[in-house]
Structure 1
């Protein structure tokens, strides 16, 4: 029996129509899903194509680079030929550059500071370019093997820079990079290079990390007169080199202000910085520095304490010098025994705490006895004026001539040598160095250091007598203490000694150090007198094979260098006509 609904419709037909709507929605959803999947598929396909293309392009660029580096003979280039390789590389390079993202623009640098010094004469500027090119990698000065007869231009650069600075010239702008490269490679050039290059070199160095040494080591910043706020700012915030330069400049203008500036930050400075700052007080050292230096005797650093003690002993009126004088008087006395009229020495038996505070190092170096070590330090730190009073009013020369008892002579004289150098006492240095008759190694002190205390003219005369007496085997350090150019007597003594060495049959490279000094230090006005030495001598029996030819080559180089130095100086004096770009190098 069928149950009716009163509608006369089939029961299925009588159900609500919600199911049909859901079916339509499901069908519509399936369509959207299929369309979305197709879109995603198309997008992924495009991405895959893009990635594949990018990978192919990267691989193509790698192939180009590999073929270019290996060479077309070792690896077949894309396209099959070198021409195709170059075409592809050009196209790919343009594409890669065009596809680069633009960089964020930086701040435009400030203009380089002006340099009001006069420019170099034209010939001198070209000479500088030649000197700088010679020291560059691959330049003429970089050639391997024997130097030949030509001058070593790179070794003339220090002298050229010193002379240019003496004339007050400014550096050519185009040569500033080469000058900074030269100073970077050779620390001995930095001071003169940076003085010559001027403020523009410091400006340029801020944009090249290779030239940071100019900011660190070569700052020539002067203390701002009448601007204590700027001085304080530089001292508190400046680079270490700026602070050293500032302290030096203030020291020259107002020594007491420099000491006060240093004292204001002394406790917070690093030990190595304290040492450098303390060393800058040597210039203009005065008794008003004594309180600060006395406090530095208690510094944490041993080297700082030793430097402070050394500076105090260079002040004859300081309390430390007086303490050292009292100790030294008790050790060195007139010899009253036997009527010898000499000197008696009683070395200290201990190094107490007070002596150590005053800079006496308790531990001797290897091979040195303790008592001799302590005695030497005490005598070296005592003012030299003490000994005339202690030894009956004798002069330095008379004191040096006195006999010293019990074998203490060398220790005592060595200590006096150190005191003469430290205190820059010319009468004592003159007495101690004496006449250059003894071999170099037998004296108690270092003649080269003592020579540095004497006036320049006296140094040259002493060195000339030393070379005449001993030849060149021990003369290198002595010659290095003499002014440039050497006085004519010294130059002629050196050349005569070289000629004697040549005639003895030895090879010139045994004297290469002296020959190099002669190239830089002989007076160019004496050049032509040396010309006969450049000839090849006849070979003598028993002479080293080929020695004469090697000597002739060395003298030819010496002559060529001297002639070039003469022309260089004339160019800097603007005495050479500016004839254009050709710049002949004088030769032997």
Structure 2
């Protein structure tokens, strides 16, 4: 009697050698399988001598199929050796209104994907979580797009966070706030680098001291590249309590870690690094007065004599950037670490008055560059406003780089104040959209970095200025890109008005395609907002 396993081996052998070299002999197998194989053999014998070869090949394939199905049907389900996951807690938040489902589906499929951040924000503001069946697609998107994760996690709900725990690729969405102390420790000690970083950033928001303690517990064992990423997380809720960890990192073996630590310490006004920089820089920058009534002020600046080891430890790079002198570069970095109000107190002058003293100074670029860094690090709104006004007046706005003037305003001033600046320029400047000496109008560049929903007032001012300029609206890449951006942020309440204005330019060949996109985006956003207003019974 032949066993099923032996016959399976025979089938494989015949299939490899071919029926011309090895014949298929039907075995004696007990049970239902044997009966079926006998029936197959009888049927093929009746096929006739003329089809002998063909019938043998057919018989081989049919027998192989029967045995394979028999084996599959006979397999027992695999037993899971691990414990089943805990049951998901019910969602505390309601799902988004039903009409929004089609919008989220389209965006997750790639249609109007740029509108997704706004849709997620609307869901959070109105207290909704996303539909359960769309959670896998949203988690997959967050895995690919780290920039969207902060927008995604608030709408996941209990089900989304539970789902994230079942897939290692989605671990970035696991909420530290729901973990027990033992779980936190386990994730930190054994989790992947990405999971550790997510955990550290979340703890910095809610429990900065716990985040600090976790990092300190493993600092010596961390890889050098990981230390840099972990230190950058200290930007969240940075305080003087973080100084011991950061001060120690100034002596780290990796230059990038030292640089990040120095930058963070320069943002803490009470830090020892800031005090050391003040001691170095304050004697170098002074104001003298002349004239009969001592009313004519002058900025007296001396350059540092050297960049010693202590200065380099505090983050001063000895090698200058292109286009700036070596010693001026050292001074600029020193100024960038000192809270700008220090100079107002020392000179008894306002920020704008101090900046006006730099207008004809030979070290103007170094002074302004240093104070721009300082204003950004210490989020000094008065200095930012004054620097903006001075740069606009001198037509010396810097647009690019880590400490650009436009980036400075965008990083420090609150959205409502930035809106006021942009609206003021839109309402008063007839050449807002046109090329001018030195490039585009600075407020237009500021508008491009304003990634917030526009108010009715800003949208109205933009539409009115566009209406006056639409016949001569520039068609270069930057201007058309600005239009595409505007469609993402204009108030959807004025979508129809905007469409009427821009429709006048649709006949211009260079603008037709971008305007089609603008109209489509505005319409989609308008309908999305309406869908969120649906009353849920």
Common fold: TM-score over 0.5:
yes
Matched with 2:13 is: 51
State the 1:486 CA deviation: 1.2
Shift in alpha-carbon separation, 1:194–1:91, aligned structure 2, 3 A: farther
Write the mapping of 1:285-434 to structure 2, written as runs, cut at 5 A: 285-335=238-288, 340-391=296-347, 393-403=348-358, 406-434=361-389
Could you tell me how far 1:286 is from its partner in structure 2? 2.5
Distance 1:170 1:51, change over 3 A: same
Structure-2-length-normalised TM-score: 0.77
SS at match of 1:341: strand
Instruction: Report what 2:532 is aligned to.
Output: 572
Who is 2:36 aligned against?
none
For residues 117-132 of structure 1, the aligned pairs below 5 Å read: 117-132=93-108
Q: Quick check: 1:279 aligned with 2:225? A: no
In the other structure, the counterpart of 1:470 is 432
Moved more, 293-302 or 228-237: 228-237
Structure with the bigger RCO (C-alpha within 8 Å, sep 6+) is 1
Aligned pair count reads 478
Which structure 2 residues correspond to residues 80-229 of structure 1 after superposition, within 5 A?
96-99=68-71, 102=75, 105-107=78-80, 109-110=84-85, 113-116=88-91, 117-133=93-109, 135=110, 141=111, 153-201=112-160, 203-204=162-163, 212-215=168-171, 217-222=172-177, 224=179, 228-229=181-182
Residue equivalent to 1:519? 487
Structure 1 residues not aligned, in runs of 5+: 1-43, 60-78, 80-87, 136-140, 142-152, 538-545, 579-588
The 3 A distance-change label for structure 1 pair 127 and 389 is: closer
Q: Distance in 1 between matches of 2:12 and 2:453?
A: 75
- Work out which of the two has the higher radius of gyration on C-alpha atoms and give 1 or 2: 1
User: Which residue does the alignment assign to 1:40?
Assistant: none
Cα pair 2:434 2:473 within 8 Å, conserved: no
What's the RMSD between the two structures over aligned residues? 3.9
- Residues 104 and 476 (structure 1 numbering): CA distance in 2 closer, same or farther, change over 3 Å? farther
Question: For residues 49 and 254 of structure 1, what CA distance do their matches in structure 2 show?
Answer: 66
Summarize deviations over 1:436-480 as a string: whole Å, max 9, x none: 555464699522322331122110121234454532664564124
**How far apart, CA to CA, are the structure 2 residues paired with 1:524 and 1:463?**
19
Structure 2 vs 1, CA of residues 563 and 512 (structure 1 numbering), >3 Å: closer, same or farther?
same
Deviation, 1:526, is 1.7
- CA gap of 1:463–1:213, structure 2 versus 1, over 3 A, is farther
1:259 shift after superposition: 2.5
CA deviations on 1:285-317 (whole Å, 9 max, x unpaired) are 332322222212111121221222222221212
Q: 1:264 to 1:55 in 2, by over 3 A?
A: same
Residue 440 of structure 1 contacts residue 447 of structure 1 at CA under 8 Å; is this kept in 2?
A: no
Kept after mapping to 2: 8 A contact 1:287/1:315:
yes
Q: Any idea what SS the aligned residue of 2:316 has?
A: coil
Give TM-score, length-normalised by structure 1.
0.71
What is the distance in 2 between the residues matched to 1:300 and 1:365? Answer: 24
Q: Report the alpha carbon displacement of residue 167 of structure 1 after superposing the two structures with TM.
A: 2.6
Deviation per residue, 1:45-89 (Å, 9 max, x gap): 998887225654899xxxxxxxxxxxxxxxxxxx9xxxxxxxx99
Query: Which stretch has the larger CA shift, 484-493 or 375-384?
Result: 484-493
Match in the other structure for 2:32 = none
CA offsets 1:393-446 (integer angstroms, 9 cap, x no match): 111111111246651112101110110011111111111111755546469952
